[in-house]
Structure 1
Amino acid sequence: MSQHRHQGVDTLRGLACLLLVALHTIGEAPEHGLRVADDHPLAVFAALFFHLRMPLFAMLSGFVYGYRPVEPGQRLAFLGGKLGRLGLPYLFAATAFLAVNIVLGGPHALPLTGINEAYLLPYAQFWFLQALFLIFLILAMADTLFPRAPFAVAAALFIVSAIAFLSPFGRGIEWLSFDRMLYLLPFFAFGLALNRMRPAVPRTLIAVLLGGALILMTLYALDVFADPHRDIPRRTAIALALGTVLGGSLLVVTLRFDPLARIGRFSFTIFLYHLFVVEALQWLYASAGRPPAYVGLAMGVTAGIVCPIVFHLVVLRLGHWPARIALGLDARARRETPATVPWPGKNTGSEATASRLAKP
């Protein structure tokens, strides 16, 4: 495990993993997961944090990218590295997940004539990786065109993507999760902008984020309690505002909680493989006569976190190529995830050292 990590980022990664696994265990609708009604406390809990889960993942991705951006003349090398880091595990995990669902008749099975949809359209949780790679394509262009204005690039990208987020542009375009890329892009750009604020995030912005998070979360919670049966759309003004202020607030206060940070170090593997375990447990849960939903939640979240971590550690011991294909990692480097470095403005070494430590 790398010794050069940002425990605050790992803590938030762990939190995002817990929320994601809990959502898939509970189910996004009464016919999924634990089969609880929309007004059940667990379903209400899942709805309350709907606008935090994926925006937080995207914001953390943008924040970490800020430490190792594409460099002039290295655009193809950067994108090739991202293909290896994201593309190989995507192909392996999505193919394995699809095969398991086809053989066992799972909820994510596709007809043999339509298996290409698992690679070209949003499929299970894997759509996030498609969308993230499209975002890296955009950043590879923007950062190499304007290498002397990194903060301006991040700020402009946030403004433009926020306008696109609220507009009709791209809605319904599912190829390579383009619509969902537009959903994630403002949060990625905001995390990148927070990283590039030097020497530190202004206190005024911190106060605005914290105050906005409190007010908006209160109003949103009242709305959810008033009508827990309604659908929750992604690309709305409240979704943009909540995702930005909630994720931004968590990031600027730099929470540190070691148990969550330990989970967060395996966040990519948990993201890729938790649904294998969750769906298997849901079958066992139904076979056992559906015990209390809270028991099912505890089982699903525990197994959905622990099993991917065990898988990660086992695969690393199998050698270089299994780790590259299943995890997107170089086992010879002996590290669990790419290293991250402390928040801008907190001196732990020279800029050159920080840049070197942050390179994948």
Structure 2
Amino acid sequence: MAAVEPVREFARRLASPPGRDPSVDTLRGLACLLVVLYHVRGGGPTDGLRLDRGNPWSYLVDSLVYLRMPLFSFLSGYVYALRPLRERWPRFAQGKARRLLVPMLVVGTAFALVRRAAGVADGGEQTPWYLWHVVPVAHFWFLEAVFWVFLLVGLADRFRLLERWTAVVPLIGLAVLADAFVPSPTNVLALRDALFLLPFFLSGVAAHRFGWRTAPRPARAAVVAAALLLALWSQLGLQGVVARVPERHDAVAALLGVTACLSLLLVRRSWRPLAVLGGFSFTVYTCHVFGTSAARLVLERVGASSVTLNVLVGLLAGIAAGVLVELVARRSAWARALVLGGRWPRRGAGGAPRPASSPAS
């Protein structure tokens, strides 16, 4: 019976939980797909499948890079606005540290150890182990960076600085300009990446807090038109017609990310497979690389050279790895705390640990 419990848990996820917006979960699922696909392709010439930039799959990844991490950050802000700071800020900070930094340290360090054992270098050099997470480890930079964003936005909410759209919109513009022009020689503790995420997170907060989905039609039409024009400009850059738009720390890329996220939020469509995947977004993000790397090694061993086969198998393996980790981790109070960022287990009267609560979104 214990062996089928993860299957039952997965079946329960097929039904939309009460109080959740399936269209938002669908967007979270889409963000998961974009992240996994990016790491299947590889973020650099020595990562992933090492595809030529002219390959159609590689071109697709490059086209969607302006939406990938902005969408994750935008949805984090949107979900935060559903349950904003209502407690003392230190308690809020402690909860976010448990939810984000503990899994970063546990899963991220495990990933760094595996990568070190495989002889994979970081940017051409081996980062000393004692600097792991001081210098962000691979994709775990997002957990560290969004932690700082949560703290900053929570503090602003504490002093009621984000209650009017006339204050938030200029702040988003200021964050875009700061990300574009502040020098970024180092990225200690992912602080520079936090500045990259900030405008998208604030946009997500504003989208929920000020009713973006019911905003005046001219405003919505203008944002959608801007997103389409900026997307066209990015495509011209990929084709070499104009200068290529940088992936990060660029005002055009940031505005494209903000307007694209706002446009997607207007769709209000849900698709059950993506909505279910969105429910596993945390572990899919943290653990998908274990699945994508394993799939690539197996396919290389059996001599499967089809790029499309490698992409699709890697995509499925990355998703499966994240889903499986969460289903298994939820069966243990300590695993929920260490891997999922749940509450630390407490001992009951009989000495048995109490179940940890589910991690907050």
**1:90 alignment partner in structure 2:** 104
CA distance in 1, matches of 2:342, 2:193: 26
Q: Which amino acid aligns with 1:68?
A: R
CA distance in 2, matches of 1:82, 1:152: 28
1:200-256, CA deviations, whole angstroms, 9 ceiling, x for partnerless residues? 333222111221222221222232133799684411122012101111111122231
Q: Are positions 1:37 and 2:52 aligned together?
A: yes
Task: Kindly indicate whether the alpha-carbon contact (under 8 Å) linking 2:245 and 2:252 is maintained by their aligned counterparts in 1.
Answer: no
Structure 1 residue 268, shift from structure 2 partner: 0.6
Name whichever of 258-267 and 107-116 sits farther off.
Answer: 107-116
1:276-323, CA deviations, whole angstroms, 9 ceiling, x for partnerless residues? 1112222223333351111000110001001210111111012x1211
Q: Which amino acid aligns with 2:294?
A: A
**2:138 alignment partner in structure 1:** 124
Q: Unpaired segments of 5 or more residues in structure 2?
A: 1-12, 344-353
1:274-285 equivalences under 5 Å are 274-285=288-299
CA distance in 2, matches of 1:170, 1:152: 28
CA distance in 2, matches of 1:28, 1:148: 35
Q: Are the structure 2 counterparts of residues 38 and 148 from structure 1 closer, same or farther at C-alpha, using a change threshold of 3 Å? A: closer
**1:49 alignment partner in structure 2:** 64
**2:320 alignment partner in structure 1:** 306
Q: Are the structure 2 counterparts of residues 159 and 230 from structure 1 closer, same or farther at C-alpha, using a change threshold of 3 Å? A: closer
**2:264 alignment partner in structure 1:** 250
Structure 1 residue 41, shift from structure 2 partner: 0.8
Q: Which amino acid aligns with 1:20?
A: V
Q: Are the structure 2 counterparts of residues 57 and 221 from structure 1 closer, same or farther at C-alpha, using a change threshold of 3 Å? A: same
Q: Are the structure 2 counterparts of residues 236 and 282 from structure 1 closer, same or farther at C-alpha, using a change threshold of 3 Å? A: same
**Partner secondary structure for residue 85 of structure 2:** coil
Name whichever of 221-230 and 97-106 sits farther off.
Answer: 221-230
Q: Are the structure 2 counterparts of residues 159 and 147 from structure 1 closer, same or farther at C-alpha, using a change threshold of 3 Å? A: closer
Percent identity of paired positions between Structure 1 and Structure 2: 33
**1:289 alignment partner in structure 2:** 303
Structure 1 residue 67, shift from structure 2 partner: 1.4
Q: Which amino acid aligns with 1:220?
A: S
**Partner secondary structure for residue 328 of structure 1:** coil
1:43-66, CA deviations, whole angstroms, 9 ceiling, x for partnerless residues? 111100010000000100111111
Q: Unpaired segments of 5 or more residues in structure 1?
A: 340-360
Task: Kindly indicate whether the alpha-carbon contact (under 8 Å) linking 1:84 and 1:328 is maintained by their aligned counterparts in 2.
Answer: yes
Q: Are positions 1:218 and 2:232 aligned together?
A: yes
1:325-346, CA deviations, whole angstroms, 9 ceiling, x for partnerless residues? 11113594675x646xxxxxxx
Task: Kindly indicate whether the alpha-carbon contact (under 8 Å) linking 2:179 and 2:195 is maintained by their aligned counterparts in 1.
Answer: yes
Q: Which amino acid aligns with 1:53?
A: R
Structure 1 residue 170, shift from structure 2 partner: 4.4
Q: Which amino acid aligns with 1:185?
A: L
Task: Kindly indicate whether the alpha-carbon contact (under 8 Å) linking 1:172 and 1:179 is maintained by their aligned counterparts in 2.
Answer: no
Q: Which amino acid aligns with 1:305?
A: I
**Partner secondary structure for residue 185 of structure 2:** coil
Q: Which has the higher contact order (CA 8 A, sep 6+)?
A: 1
**1:189 alignment partner in structure 2:** 202
CA distance in 1, matches of 2:243, 2:293: 24
Q: Which amino acid aligns with 1:281?
A: A
Q: Which amino acid aligns with 2:274?
A: L
TM-score by length of 1: 0.85
CA distance in 2, matches of 1:269, 1:82: 16
1:132-281 equivalences under 5 Å are 132-146=146-160, 149=163, 151-152=165-166, 154-167=168-181, 169-198=182-211, 200-226=214-240, 232-281=246-295
CA distance in 2, matches of 1:10, 1:74: 29
CA distance in 2, matches of 1:155, 1:109: 36
Q: Which amino acid aligns with 1:142?
A: A
CA distance in 2, matches of 1:74, 1:58: 23
Q: Which amino acid aligns with 1:106?
A: V
1:145-202, CA deviations, whole angstroms, 9 ceiling, x for partnerless residues? 12683545533431321221222x2422311112211111111111111111148333
Q: Are the structure 2 counterparts of residues 110 and 328 from structure 1 closer, same or farther at C-alpha, using a change threshold of 3 Å? A: farther
CA distance in 1, matches of 2:329, 2:124: 28
CA RMSD of aligned residues (A): 2.6
Q: Which amino acid aligns with 2:231?
A: M
**1:16 alignment partner in structure 2:** 31
TM-score by length of 2: 0.85
Task: Kindly indicate whether the alpha-carbon contact (under 8 Å) linking 1:38 and 1:228 is maintained by their aligned counterparts in 2.
Answer: no
Task: Kindly indicate whether the alpha-carbon contact (under 8 Å) linking 1:16 and 1:56 is maintained by their aligned counterparts in 2.
Answer: yes
Structure 1 residue 35, shift from structure 2 partner: 1.9
CA distance in 2, matches of 1:35, 1:198: 43
**Count of paired positions:** 335
**Partner secondary structure for residue 292 of structure 2:** helix
**Partner secondary structure for residue 49 of structure 1:** helix
**Partner secondary structure for residue 37 of structure 1:** coil
Q: Are the structure 2 counterparts of residues 198 and 34 from structure 1 closer, same or farther at C-alpha, using a change threshold of 3 Å? A: closer
**Partner secondary structure for residue 283 of structure 2:** helix
Q: Which amino acid aligns with 1:285?
A: L
Task: Kindly indicate whether the alpha-carbon contact (under 8 Å) linking 2:337 and 2:356 is maintained by their aligned counterparts in 1.
Answer: no
